[in-house]
Amino acid sequence: MFIRHVKPFAAALFGTLYLMLMPGFSLSAETAPTKTDGIPYNVEITGKNLKKSPVHKLLGEVSLAVQKKNDPPKSLALLKRRCEGDLPEMQKVLRSFGYFRGTIKLEIIPPKATEAKDEGRRTEDGGPSFVIRQPSSVVRYPAAVRFEVDPGPRFTFSKTNIHLSPDTPPGILPLPSPAALKLVQDAPYSASLVVKAGEAILTRYKENGYPFPKISHRDVTADFKTNHVEVSFQVSPGSYARFGPTRVTGLERLKDQYVYELIPWKEGEPYDIRQIKAARQTLFDTNLFGIVTFKNPEKVDVQGQLPMTVELTERASRTVRLGLEYTTDYGPGFNSSWTHRNLFGMAEKLTASAILNSEIRTAALRFDKPMFLNRDNTFISRISFNDETTDGYDATSGIATAILQQQFTKTFRVGGGLGSHLSRVKDNATDERNTYQLVYVPLTADLDTRKNILNPIQGYHLSLAMAPYQDISRSDIHFFRYVLGGSTYYNFNRGNWIVVAVQAAFGQIFSIDHNKMPADLRFYPGGGGSVRGYGYQMAGPLKGNTPLGGLAMLTGSLELRFKVTEAIGIVPFVDAGTAYLDTVPDFSEQDMLYGVGLGLRYYTAIGPVRLDVAVPLKKRPGGGDSDYQIYVSIGQSF
């Protein structure tokens, strides 16, 4: 009916496009290019108790028939060739698990096909005529490929022989026992255990002064009469060596002295491969190097030493970072930093940073001097200027600190120093304005086993920050403030698809009344960093809609982090917490506040982008609590 009212050419064009978009439309055989479809097929690997065994998974991984199922061959002959090519690889899998008598039977059932008839329809409506022709089609049922596996009996270890090569001089480090290598008599045979045993033998010697050990011979003999496997190793330890002179190459801006300080061995100490691995990790952890390589002449010199060369490629020394965030608390926010990681040639780091949003404006400068006084000490000085206009208080402040931090282990460090906190503060609950000239002694302790701070999936983090404060202009203003916090992460699988994350924090302020305590140093839970669902600083006692802050604080969070794909994840969470007006909380008189929500994570190379939507479980009377809160930033919430 529509084509009747348009010009013939336009009707023809419209009709052609309409027909091309209709389901089932295809060009005629004379104009359409022909396409030869492959032979679709399904694969089944069967066997007694096979699906409960890791053998089943490996059989599928080595099978081209399984891996290329979505790329079917053009003919049955090619399908047969593909499947027959799998048989030797599958036999290797069976033998690697000790099934030396195993057999595999291949069966291919050809596909079945039925033919559909042509269908036609003619449309004539005063204009050009069109014919819709459904060419003959074939409905195929896939071919069936079946690998029927009969593993047979599983062989077990019988005797394990480990001996030194005949030319080995006396006084060599003793060989490990078969039990130490987990080659236990009558245990099920596994080729991976044999390989790991050989690696363990070599590692034992590399960790005890022998840089070039070799497995001269490794024999695996299966006895089909007893269904046992005998394994033999012949070991050539090579020459004993001590670390020789160490040379550093490739440095451009960094001084050699800095690298030498990080090398854990000294010339003349016994060779130990663990020292080299530790040095490599330490150098990478500095973030100063893109490439770290350790080389040696591959032979021990006449003095029994092995010289070492450390080849390094420096990264760019300057980094600029820009970040955006959004919360319903204070709208859009901006943060940035500029870092110079090698200011004077000994990895001195200078960082300038800024935070800007509707409530907080901060500019800070931090200087880190590693290896201050000794290798494990770091001197850290920081100065910041802050302008805050929050619901609880308005404050303008300048803060300066100088801290000496001692790294006791790779994961544990403590620090202490001096600080100054100068501020003008308006307490919005009372409209009082005060000026403070505080000096304090910051003390910190930190135990951190996490591998990735932006997206931790395992490990834990414990921290303690405390300090006594004294106002130098007012003797009655003095107090002690501390915060103890911790988080832990449990990974339910080998990847990071399901992670449970738990966090808690508790803090107290002693020796001062609430009305004398500087408002900008009280505890204010609430917002994206603590109790989501409640506004920034709002998860505590209020006067009207104004947060009072507290002399004590308790918060906790639980997250279940599920990955839907490699790039997308969802995170249901619950947060709890509140502030208390008194130093010693009265848990019976003040209820905890709870927020629940759902988060979305988009995982990138620089860390996850976080979107959280949270609601308060209990809205307090007075209208101070919103129906929901939204948080957008980079990195997990904790």
Domain boundaries of the chain, sorted by first residue: 3-150, 156-236, 242-314, 318-634
> What does the DSSP assignment read for 374-412?
STTEEEEEEEEEEEEE-SSEEEEEEEEEEEEEEE-SSSE
> What is the rounded CA–CA span in Å between residue 440 and residue 602?
41
Start-to-end CA distance of the chain, whole Å, equals 64
**Under CATH, which number does the domain 318-634 receive?**
2.40.160.50
Task: Please give the pLDDT value at position 588.
Answer: 83
Give the pLDDT score at 133.
41
In terms of Cβ atoms closer than 10 Å to its own Cβ (0-12, 13-18, 19+), residue 318 is: exposed
Q: Tell me what pLDDT residue 105 has.
A: 95
Alpha-carbon gap, residue 437 to 425, rounded angstroms: 11
State the DSSP string of 404-433: EEEE-SSSEEEEEEEEEEEEEEEETTTTEE
203-215 pLDDT tens trace: 999 999 999 999 9
Q: What is the helix (H) or strand (E) element at residue 507, kind and residue range?
A: strand 498-510
Alpha-carbon distance of 492 to 498, in angstroms, equals 6
pLDDT of the residue at 114: 57
Q: Which helix (H) or strand (E) holds 247?
A: strand 242-249
Tally of helices (H runs) and strands (E runs) in the chain: 7, 32
DSSP string, 118-162: PEEEEE-SSS--EEEEE--EEEEEPEEEEEEEE--PPPEEEEEEE
**Looking up tokens 């905890």, which residue turns up?**
592
**Distance separating alpha carbons of residues 320 and 322, to the nearest angstrom:** 7
Which pLDDT tens digit goes with each residue over 2-59?
333 333 333 333 343 333 333 333 333 333 333 347 889 999 999 887 877 889 999 9
Same fold, 156-236 and 242-314: yes
DSSP assignment letter at 191: H
Question: Quick one: three-class SS letters along 164-183?
Answer: ECCCCCCCCCCCCCCCCCCC
Kindly give the parts of the chain with pLDDT less than 70: 1-36, 113-140, 494, 623
The answer to whether residues 297 and 247 touch, using CB atoms and an 8 Å cutoff, is no
Q: Centre a 10 Å sphere on the Cβ of residue 573 and count the other Cβ atoms it contains.
A: 20
Instruction: Say what angle helices 76-96 and 191-206 make with each other, to 10 degrees.
Output: 50
Domain 242-314 has CATH 3.40.640.10: no
The residue ranges of DSSP E strands in 296-376, in sequence order, are 305-314, 318-327, 331-340, 349-356, 360-370
Question: Which CATH architecture fits 156-236?
Answer: Roll (3.10)
